[in-house]
């Protein structure tokens, strides 16, 4: 659709007229409640997930991404108030974790309510400005088109009069002038008929012997163009013939649609490929966007999470499809190899937690690993379990960090994810799409960067209830090398050894 056409402007006006700010905010709230609890994860794990969601919402608020913050806050409230009490192990949740969940929800409620009011105000203001912009454009198109039609009609009339005058004989002009003199009241209705179209009667034919009358041809009058008022009357009929001409649009004959009140059909907006103009913008500049996508940092029904989506899924990020980049300091390998060297020499695994922050740069959101936390743990030749995770959680809370993944060693094997590793990775990845597993194999000088395939790998592992080491199918692959992870030499990893 031509962004300069009346059809484009009218579609945009209609779309914004049907947009209901309050209804759209309700859809955002509804998407926050669209979450299910996986019984394979402990209730305590969900309390930690709520903590991460609260931190992430603060990142969004600081960046002005109110929609994403609003969705996450509604999600964490839904988890604790509605979903988690149905978990089979909910009654085993310790009092400290329950108290932490209550504190998170009590902090989230007032912020979510304030965001709700601000979002309605923002969308209302955006709607009013957009309707004004599209209305002004429609008026401009109508005025411009009328001028074009008048110009074309005037030229056509001038040409027609000129052509007709060239066919008038001197006898016709004399007869016409005499007729107008004898019948002045009929002069306005006289029609000039070319001489070739007149069939003379016998009495009008001069006798061959009669002398020719004396004749002095009068000067021909200058043809005059129709008045501007008469031209306007011709616009309607001429516009039908000119709709194919450049810049002329038949939609100018349609009345402007009026804004409808209390119309909750916001989902219809997605069918229009138009959007609001930013202040000072130029018509026709930039790509066409859907009105909902054009709302600042907007989340639409196409990018909202399904009940099986991860709690911090990347679709929350800017409404885009795909994984956010994970940036890891390049020196993490060397430092973790030094930390784990004693255990590796004794053929004992070592594990650590990748913690970091959410960053918003020119290329969009990314997750940046800033800290490698070594928790209290108990390792063996083929496994490693963390102990007393409350120390880890307190460190994360104190430094406002979120969990982005984990790292562990394979002292005697190559870098891969065993069945136990896959179950561990699933517990991270079900909370964060981009969660990564690093596997250091010092004997083979390897560093693997893995994640479960989605959806097949994540679905299979979450559905598997077998404990300990057990075979998993290799086709289709349940894990693969990450393509969204990048190592940076410009940032350094910080080590926090809590052992």
- Collect all residues with Cβ–Cβ distance below 8 Å to 426 and sequence separation of at least 6: 452, 458, 461, 462
Task: Give the CATH class of 323-497.
Answer: alpha beta
Q: How many helices (H) and strands (E) does the chain have?
A: 13, 11
Out of 81-85, 275-279, 457-461, 464-468, which region has the weakest mean confidence (pLDDT)?
275-279
Sign of CA dihedral 185, 191, 195, 201: negative
Q: Determine phi and psi for 306, rounding to 5 degrees.
A: -85, 170
- Under CATH, what is the fold of the domain 1-168+220-312? Methane Monooxygenase Hydroxylase; Chain G, domain 1 (1.20.58)
The answer to whether 351 touches 475, Cβ cutoff 8 Å, is no
Measured between alpha carbons, how far is 426 from 263 in angstroms, rounded to an integer?
43
Per-residue model confidence as pLDDT tens digits over 398-412: 999 999 999 999 999
Q: Per the structure block, which two tokens stand in for 464?
A: 């598997």
> Is the Cα torsion angle 6, 11, 16, 18 positive or negative in sign?
positive
DSSP 305: P
- Positive or negative, the CA dihedral 49, 55, 56, 58 is positive
pLDDT, tens digit (0-9, with 9 covering 90-100), for 440-462: 999 999 999 999 998 889 889 98
Identify any residues that bridge with 448 across adjacent strands, giving them in sequence order: 439
Per-residue pLDDT averaged across 43-55, rounded? Answer: 89
Q: Tell me the domain boundaries of the chain.
A: 1-168+220-312, 323-497
List the one residue out of 343, 482, 318 whose CA is nearest residue 409. 343
- pLDDT tens, position by position, 367-403: 999 999 999 999 999 999 998 788 888 899 899 999 9
User: 377-379 and 494-497 as β-strands: parallel, antiparallel, unpaired?
Assistant: unpaired
Nearest to 425 by CA among 371, 351, 487, 328: 351
pLDDT of amino acid 468: 87
Helix axes 66-78, 43-62, angle to 10 degrees: 160
pLDDT band, residue 172 (cuts 50/70/90)? low
Compute the mean pLDDT over every residue in the chain, rounded to the nearest whole number: 74
- Distance between CA atoms of residues 73 and 87, nearest Å: 20
Q: Regarding beta strands 436-441 and 402-409, do their DSSP bridges make them parallel or antiparallel, or are they unpaired?
A: parallel
| Confidence label for 182 from pLDDT (cuts 50, 70 and 90) | low
**How far apart, in whole angstroms, are the C-alpha atoms of residue 169 and residue 95?**
111
Q: At what angle do helices 43-62 and 389-399 cross, to 10 degrees?
A: 10
Q: What is the pTM of this model?
A: 0.57
Name the pLDDT band for 246 (thresholds 50, 70, 90): very low
Whether residue 314 has pLDDT greater than 90: no
Provide DSSP, 119-184. HHHHHHHHHHHHHHHHHHHHHHHHHHHHHHHHHHHHHHHHHHHHHHHHT--HHHHHHHHHHHHH-G
Torsion of CA 293, 298, 301, 305, to 10 degrees: 130
Q: Count Cα atoms within 13 angstroms, Cβ side, for 430.
A: 27
The b-or-e profile of 413-430 (16+ CB within 10 A means b, else e) is bebebbbebbbbbbbbbb
Q: What is the pLDDT of residue 167?
A: 58
Rounded mean pLDDT, 290-317: 35
Six token digits for residue 43: 């209730």
Confidence (pLDDT) at 475: 87
Q: For residues 107-133, give the mean pLDDT.
A: 91
Which phi and psi (to 5°) does residue 98 adopt? Answer: -60, -45
Greatest mean pLDDT among 123-127, 206-210, 243-247 lies in 123-127
Average of per-residue pLDDT across 155-183: 61
Residue 63 DSSP one-character state: T
pLDDT at 395: 93
How high is the pLDDT of residue 63?
84
């Amino acid at each position: 659709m031509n962004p300069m056409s009346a059809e484009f402007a009218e579609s945009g006006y209609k779309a914004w007229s049907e947009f209901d700010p309050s209804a759209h905010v309700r859809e955002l709230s509804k998407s926050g409640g669209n979450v299910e609890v996986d019984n394979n994860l402990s209730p305590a794990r969900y309390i930690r997930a709520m903590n991460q969601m609260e931190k992430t919402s603060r990142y969004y608020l600081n960046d002005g991404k109110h929609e994403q913050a609003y969705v996450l806050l509604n999600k964490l409230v839904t988890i604790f108030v509605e979903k988690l009490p149905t978990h089979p192990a909910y009654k085993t949740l310790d009092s400290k974790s329950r108290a932490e969940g209550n504190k998170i929800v009590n902090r989230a409620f007032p912020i979510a309510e304030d965001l709700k009011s601000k979002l309605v105000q923002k969308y209302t203001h955006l709607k009013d400005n957009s309707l004004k912009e599209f209305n002004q454009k429609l008026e401009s198109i109508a005025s411009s088109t009328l001028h074009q039609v008048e110009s074309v009609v005037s030229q056509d009339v001038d040409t027609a009069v000129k052509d007709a005058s060239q066919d008038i004989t001197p006898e016709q002009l004399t007869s016409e002038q005499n007729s107008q003199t004898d019948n002045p009241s009929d002069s306005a209705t006289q029609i000039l008929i070319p001489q070739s179209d007149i069939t003379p009667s016998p009495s009008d034919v001069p006798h061959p012997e009669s002398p020719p009358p004396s004749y002095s041809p009068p000067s021909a009058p200058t043809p005059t163009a129709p008045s501007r008022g008469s031209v306007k009357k011709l616009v309607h009929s001429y516009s039908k013939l000119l709709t194919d001409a450049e810049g002329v649009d038949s939609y100018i004959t349609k009345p402007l649609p009026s804004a409808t009140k209390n119309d909750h059909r916001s989902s219809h907006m997605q069918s229009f490929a138009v959007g609001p103009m930013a202040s000072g913008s130029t018509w026709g500049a930039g790509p066409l966007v859907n009105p909902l996508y054009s709302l600042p940092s907007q989340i639409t029904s196409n990018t909202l999470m399904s009940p099986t989506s991860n709690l911090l899924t990347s679709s929350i990020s800017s409404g885009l499809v795909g994984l956010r980049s994970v940036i890891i300091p390049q020196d993490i390998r060397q430092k973790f190899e030094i930390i784990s060297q004693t255990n590796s020499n004794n053929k004992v695994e070592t594990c650590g937690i990748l913690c970091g922050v959410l960053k918003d740069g020119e290329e969009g959101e990314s997750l940046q690993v800033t800290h490698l936390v070594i928790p209290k743990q108990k390792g063996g030749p083929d496994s490693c379990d963390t102990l007393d995770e409350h120390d880890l959680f307190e460190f994360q809370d104190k430094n406002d960090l979120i969990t982005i993944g984990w790292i562990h060693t394979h002292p005697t094997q190559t870098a891969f994810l065993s069945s136990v590793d896959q179950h561990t990775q699933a517990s991270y990845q079900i909370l964060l799409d981009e969660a990564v597993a690093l596997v250091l194999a010092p004997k083979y000088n390897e560093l693997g960067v893995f994640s479960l395939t989605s959806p097949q790998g994540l679905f299979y592992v979450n559905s598997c209830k077998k404990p300990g080491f057990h075979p998993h199918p290799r086709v289709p692959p349940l894990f693969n090398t990450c393509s969204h992870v990048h190592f940076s030499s410009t940032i350094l990893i910080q080590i926090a050894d809590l052992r």
